[in-house]
């Protein structure tokens, strides 16, 4: 298993680096972040090195593994399953992909869904939602090993004409101004003298089911208190914050449980349904071209405070997962982290590689193509405590 402490430090360093970015010491932060990620990668590689020998670990008989995963990785995973099956190691391994919201995936493991042998949520931020209750009940971790597969920060996406009008009115796009827009009774009539655009609409996924919805709530808290780290339980229990969150949540679109579907719905139904959403960077970038053919251009906006999604690959250590299945999962993990698979994740599906042997931007890479849009150094918040996460979810539930 990857050293959790190192990972915790890694995230903390990321956050510290972001603070540095805030104070314009961006170069230091970037270097630190890259070092941290480099260490994470070395750990992952060392731990999985043995599994890279397909002769040693090739299952003697067919093994089936089920992976509950967030739909933001759907296309990459589908590609990987197909390609993995062609490798010597993959020939006896049948990988079944089970699309499921990140939070919902953890809940399914908690309820002992025996089809799931690997849980790959969008972010390690949701890991305690499974681990802590499981450990309380069973006295041990439900996770055998983990490894970040690919990185993607949270971004806002808005229809360009709406974004321009919004920023002209409020100066910036952040959760505070989004909340203001949502509470305009006459919507775009008041924001931009455009009554024909209807009311202002914005969406994130359902926080009780999906990682990006939960992270949106987290970022709302950080934006409200204007901090980059250490959002405290006592802060989010302040009456003014609770009232603000309630007013914001009451007008937010949060029905969708999958981030991939939320992005698709925005493109399908256009500004008539959603003026903007918070999603993963890879979903936003990979839909830049699509949007233009349906409803017009979209604008990808990096928040003042974002958060990294590391797409961890949690191989389960639960009673229904056999040793063969764990080994098979390790083989698939090795495949996903191999340079060719990471290259596909980067260039076809716009994930930033977890394998730091592969740069984000290089000649011919997809990020090079979007260099005018992409912000490489993203200021990210420090991970809040489990207590804060759960309390935010409780507060949000009360508003529904």
Compute the distance between CA of residue 178 and CA of residue 180 in angstroms, rounded to an integer.
5
Using the minimum distance from each CB to other proteins, give the nearer residue, 133 or 270: 270
Using the minimum distance from each CB to other proteins, give the nearer residue, 104 or 236: 104
152: left (phi over 0), alpha (psi -120 to 50) or beta: beta
User: Least distance (Å) from other proteins to the CB of residue 262?
Assistant: 12
The residue ranges that bind other proteins (CB under 8 A) are 195-199, 264, 267-273, 287, 290-291, 293-296
Using the minimum distance from each CB to other proteins, give the nearer residue, 208 or 230: 208
User: Least distance (Å) from other proteins to the CB of residue 253?
Assistant: 8
Compute the distance between CA of residue 83 and CA of residue 393 in angstroms, rounded to an integer.
38
User: Least distance (Å) from other proteins to the CB of residue 310?
Assistant: 27
Backbone dihedral angles phi then psi of residue 279, each to the nearest 5 degrees = -140, -175
Note whether 218 and 245 are within 8 A (CB).
no
Using the minimum distance from each CB to other proteins, give the nearer residue, 227 or 288: 288
Using the minimum distance from each CB to other proteins, give the nearer residue, 145 or 210: 210
User: Least distance (Å) from other proteins to the CB of residue 293?
Assistant: 3
Using the minimum distance from each CB to other proteins, give the nearer residue, 118 or 263: 263
Q: Can you tell me whether residue 357 is helix, strand or coil?
A: coil
Strands of the chain, DSSP E: 63-69, 93-99, 118-120, 143-145, 150-159, 202-203, 276-280, 298-301, 308-309, 314-316, 352-353
362-366 own/partner pairs: CB under 8 Å, 24+ apart: 366/285
User: Least distance (Å) from other proteins to the CB of residue 270?
Assistant: 8
Compute the distance between CA of residue 278 and CA of residue 230 in angstroms, rounded to an integer.
22
User: Least distance (Å) from other proteins to the CB of residue 289?
Assistant: 9
Compute the distance between CA of residue 279 and CA of residue 254 in angstroms, rounded to an integer.
12
């Amino acid at each position: 298993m990857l050293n959790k402490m190192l990972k915790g430090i890694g995230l903390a360093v990321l956050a510290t680096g972001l603070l540095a970015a805030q104070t314009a010491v961006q170069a230091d932060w970037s270097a630190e972040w890259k070092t941290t990620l480099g260490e994470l990668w070395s750990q992952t590689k060392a731990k999985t090195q043995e599994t890279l020998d397909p002769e040693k670990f090739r299952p003697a008989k067919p093994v089936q593994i089920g992976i509950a995963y967030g739909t933001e990785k759907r296309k990459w995973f589908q590609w990987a399953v197909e390609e993995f099956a062609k490798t010597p190691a993959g020939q006896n391994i049948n990988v079944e992909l089970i699309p499921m919201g990140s939070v919902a995936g953890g809940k399914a493991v908690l309820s002992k869904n025996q089809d799931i042998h690997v849980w790959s949520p969008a972010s390690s931020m949701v890991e305690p939602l499974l681990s802590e209750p499981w450990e309380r009940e069973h006295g041990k971790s439900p996770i055998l090993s983990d490894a970040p597969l690919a990185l993607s920060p949270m971004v806002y996406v808005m229809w360009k004409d709406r974004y321009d009008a919004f920023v002209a009115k409020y100066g910036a796009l952040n959760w505070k101004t989004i909340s203001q827009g949502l509470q305009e009774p006459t919507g775009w009539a008041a924001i931009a003298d455009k009554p024909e655009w209807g009311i202002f609409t914005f969406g994130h996924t359902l926080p009780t089911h999906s990682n990006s919805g939960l992270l949106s709530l987290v970022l709302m808290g950080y934006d409200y208190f204007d901090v980059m780290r250490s959002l405290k339980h006592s802060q989010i229990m302040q009456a003014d914050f609770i009232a603000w969150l309630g007013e914001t949540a009451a007008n937010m679109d949060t029905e969708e449980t999958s981030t991939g579907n939320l992005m698709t719905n925005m493109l399908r139904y256009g500004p008539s349904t959603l003026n903007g959403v918070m999603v993963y960077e890879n979903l936003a970038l990979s839909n830049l071209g699509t949007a233009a053919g349906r409803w017009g251009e979209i604008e990808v906006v990096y928040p003042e405070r974002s958060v990294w999604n590391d797409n961890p690959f949690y191989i389960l250590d639960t009673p229904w997962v056999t040793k063969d299945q764990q080994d098979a999962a390790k083989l698939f993990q090795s495949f996903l982290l191999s340079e060719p698979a990471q290259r596909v994740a980067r260039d076809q599906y716009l994930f930033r590689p977890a394998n730091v042997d592969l740069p984000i931007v290089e000649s011919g890479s997809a990020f090079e193509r979007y260099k005018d849009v992409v912000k490489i150094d993203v200021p990210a918040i420090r991970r809040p405590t489990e207590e804060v996460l759960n309390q935010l979810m409780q507060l949000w539930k009360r508003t529904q």
